[in-house]
Amino acid sequence: MTKLKKPIRTCISCRGKFEQKELIRLQCINKNLIVFNNNGRSFYLCNDCKKDKKKCEKALFRQCRNKDNYFEQLKEIVVDGR
């Protein structure tokens, strides 16, 4: 018997593989970082990376193709999500 498969996703920053529920799902729209709204492209960040400004910014710049204060935006998202 096979185990029920849990959805595994990759963190855009560390490339680690995690269960989906351990990751925060985000997207970038018009150069704004937001929580994924079921529309368009999204990406995941793990719990460790979302606390790490340097790691986050690099990955977010790559995803959003723009340099902005994404870590600040991320912090607001993370706080709101609790």
Q: Which residues bind Zn ion (CB under 5 A)?
A: 11, 13-14, 46, 49
| Cα–Cα–Cα angle for 10, 16, 17, rounded to 5 degrees | 55
Which residue lies nearer to Zn ion by CB, 3 or 21?
Answer: 21
Find the shortest distance in angstroms from Cβ 49 to Zn ion.
3
CA distance 23 to 49: 10
Rounded to a whole number of angstroms, the minimum distance from the CB of residue 2 to Zn ion is 28
Task: Considering the complex, state which of residue 11 and residue 33 has its C-beta at the smaller distance from Zn ion.
Answer: 11
Nearer to Zn ion, 11 or 26 (CB): 11
Least Å distance, CB 1 to Zn ion, is: 32
